[in-house]
Amino acid sequence: MNEHVLLGDEAVALGAVHAGLTAAYGYPGTPSTEIVEFLIRHAERHGRPLASWTTNEKTAYEAALGVSLAGRRTLVAMKHVGLNVAADPFINSALLDLGGGLVVVVADDPGMHSSQNGQDTRFYADFARTLCLEPANAQEAYDMTREAFDLSERFHVPAVIRLVTRLAHSRGVVRTGEARGQNPPRPAADRAAWTLLPSYARELWRGLLERQHELRAYTSRHGNTLSLADSRLGVVTCGIARNYYEENADDLPFLPSHLHIGAYPMPVDLLRRLVAHVDAVLVLEDGYPFVQRALGGVLTPPREVRGRQTGALPPDGELTPDVVRVALGLPLRAGLPPAALALPTRPPQLCAGCPHIDTFNTILKATRDLGARVTSDIGCYTLGALPPYSAVDSCVCMGASIGMAKGLADAGVRPALAVIGDSTFLHSGITPLVDAIAANTPMTVVIADNEVVAMTGGQPSAIPSSRMKRLLLGLGADPDHLHILDTHPKTVERNAEILRREIDHPGLSVIVTVRECIETARDRKRMRLAMAGATA
């Protein structure tokens, strides 16, 4: 047995390697990025597993399904909103007779530190009628990931690991076990079990429903612990919330009864036993009131249930030890009031020298006095919404800028512009652009191509800038209204003239502004100098 100090994300990745992982896929997204990064580094050093970034979460999931079809173990990682993109194959895959274990790691961001919403992946796992494991610390992240592969193969369903930001990005000591070898290739023999034709799918769906009893029987015995103590209060903790409860429990005047939930489907029998024993229940869960809502179906009235839905905990944001302390009725610990710790705030802004600054200056110059509406997308360039640029009107989800600009143009708004990064364009912008090309919509698409996924640390885009033009022509973009432009302070004036001309064009134009992210360019330069120093 070895000991390592690992991030929660890294513990998941190492657990997967030790479980005999053959291949992993993902699209970068905070707070899940470090999982695939760890696996890529591991593959560089040890030659396995295969680990790669994909164009988006849906393609990642589909590749993982192929590995499972081959009978081998696979992992797919994403942030919570990424599961919306992969929802189609994810939900459908629960019906398949999965061969090699398929583990879906989803890192939720309940505090919305770097996300457009705070959705809770436990609902998705429930919707798909599959297993979900929720670790409370890095050790459990390692252990549960290993176990998730076994469970996926035992129950033939995708097994979800739900992380939250605080766990994904905290370090802890992890004791590791013996590494297991990879599954030998063993492609599925039963084609009907992998083909969701309605006649097969109806049968597979019945099979999944029948397996619910086995899944519930499993989670009533594993991953969840019930300790019946004082009957005045029953505390339910989920995942990381256990740590916040344990930090405060010693200060309580009595020892409440406690159910910890780390595995779903919901352990309804354990909830019933807790509820039957206590007068009131407090549910501590990060994310949505998932367990609190389910309690409505198992309560013997009149029982009081406190949690996010009743105001005992704030309805949004992350849990913290202090929030939990207040919910337990304890006085806050003496210390500096939060106001005394307030640091000077700095509004988020593009890095000095960022190529997007020149792109936004180009757009502002070209659209001055035109009353243009500009839709934007997910990436560093979303900061163009803030002063001093205040250059965009919307940002909803990956790829939405192009579809929304098309909607604006269809609704008669002129000029309508979309701004999207190269990686986001490849992720989800291609399909709405196909619509706009097909309709020759009178709008202008600006692809701000910085050659990387900069926001998550500079992972490579799915294809390099040098191939963007061929891709756009292949999609059917009009070569007379397609421009690949260097973006730089010196080219702002010239580029704005081109953009202005294209805004006047009564059809679709595509402008690609190209310059590498200054941060990744600096990193590459540092790396080159270090390599040169090492070989001098």
- Of 43, 197, 167, the residue nearest 107 (C-alpha): 167
User: Among residues 102 and 452, whose Cβ is nearest to ligand SF4?
Assistant: 452
User: Among residues 298 and 351, whose Cβ is nearest to ligand SF4?
Assistant: 351
Q: Nearest approach, Cβ of 131 to ligand SF4 (angstroms)?
A: 37
Return all residues near 36 (Cβ < 8 A) that are at least 6 apart: 13, 24, 25, 26, 28, 51, 52, 53, 77
Cα 141 to Cα 153: distance, rounded to the nearest angstrom:
19
Q: Nearest approach, Cβ of 423 to ligand SF4 (angstroms)?
A: 11
User: Among residues 34 and 108, whose Cβ is nearest to ligand SF4?
Assistant: 34
Q: Nearest approach, Cβ of 41 to ligand SF4 (angstroms)?
A: 21
User: Among residues 324 and 354, whose Cβ is nearest to ligand SF4?
Assistant: 354
Q: Nearest approach, Cβ of 76 to ligand SF4 (angstroms)?
A: 26
Residue with tokens 């600096």: 522
- Of 327, 297, 323, 286, the residue nearest 310 (C-alpha): 327
> How many Å from the N-terminal Cα to the C-terminal Cα in the chain?
40
Cα 432 to Cα 405: distance, rounded to the nearest angstrom:
10
Return all residues near 23 (Cβ < 8 A) that are at least 6 apart: 49, 50, 51, 63, 64, 67, 72, 74, 75
Number of Cβ atoms within 10 Å of the Cβ of 245: 23
User: Among residues 276 and 385, whose Cβ is nearest to ligand SF4?
Assistant: 385
Q: What does the block give as tokens for 25?
A: 């896929």
Q: Nearest approach, Cβ of 353 to ligand SF4 (angstroms)?
A: 7
Q: What Cα–Cα distance (Å) separates residue 40 from each residue in 23, 288, 518?
A: 10, 33, 23
User: Among residues 207 and 457, whose Cβ is nearest to ligand SF4?
Assistant: 457
User: Among residues 306 and 356, whose Cβ is nearest to ligand SF4?
Assistant: 356
Q: What angle do CA 265, 213, 207 make, to 5 degrees?
A: 105
Full DSSP string of 207-266: HHHHHHHHHHHHHHHSSEEEE--EEEEEEEEETTHHHHHHHHHTTSSS-EEEEEE-EES-
Q: Nearest approach, Cβ of 407 to ligand SF4 (angstroms)?
A: 27
3-state SS class at 334 = coil
User: Among residues 215 and 350, whose Cβ is nearest to ligand SF4?
Assistant: 350
Cα 310 to Cα 57: distance, rounded to the nearest angstrom:
35
User: Among residues 351 and 498, whose Cβ is nearest to ligand SF4?
Assistant: 351
Q: Give the binding site for ligand SF4 (CB under 6 A).
A: 350-351, 354, 356, 380, 450, 454, 517-519
Q: What Cα–Cα distance (Å) separates residue 392 from each residue in 346, 371, 446?
A: 21, 12, 12
- Of 167, 103, 133, 407, the residue nearest 261 (C-alpha): 133
User: Among residues 342 and 352, whose Cβ is nearest to ligand SF4?
Assistant: 352
User: Among residues 273 and 356, whose Cβ is nearest to ligand SF4?
Assistant: 356
* 441 Rama sector, left if φ>0, alpha if ψ -120 to 50, beta otherwise: beta
Q: Nearest approach, Cβ of 421 to ligand SF4 (angstroms)?
A: 8
Return all residues near 533 (Cβ < 8 A) that are at least 6 apart: none
User: Among residues 271 and 354, whose Cβ is nearest to ligand SF4?
Assistant: 354
Q: Nearest approach, Cβ of 354 to ligand SF4 (angstroms)?
A: 3
Q: Nearest approach, Cβ of 246 to ligand SF4 (angstroms)?
A: 38
Residue 196 identity (one-letter amino acid): L
DSSP state at residue 425: I
Counting other chains too, the contacts that 517-526 makes at CB distance below 8 Å and 24 or more residues apart are 517/354, 517/355, 517/380, 517/450, 517/451, 517/452, 517/454, 517/458, 518/351, 518/352, 518/353, 518/354, 518/355, 519/351, 519/454, 519/458, 520/450, 520/451, 520/452, 520/454, 520/458, 523/458
3-state SS class at 66 = helix
User: Among residues 46 and 346, whose Cβ is nearest to ligand SF4?
Assistant: 346
Q: Nearest approach, Cβ of 519 to ligand SF4 (angstroms)?
A: 4
Q: Nearest approach, Cβ of 114 to ligand SF4 (angstroms)?
A: 13
User: Among residues 263 and 462, whose Cβ is nearest to ligand SF4?
Assistant: 462
Q: Nearest approach, Cβ of 382 to ligand SF4 (angstroms)?
A: 10
Q: Nearest approach, Cβ of 377 to ligand SF4 (angstroms)?
A: 13
Q: Nearest approach, Cβ of 364 to ligand SF4 (angstroms)?
A: 17
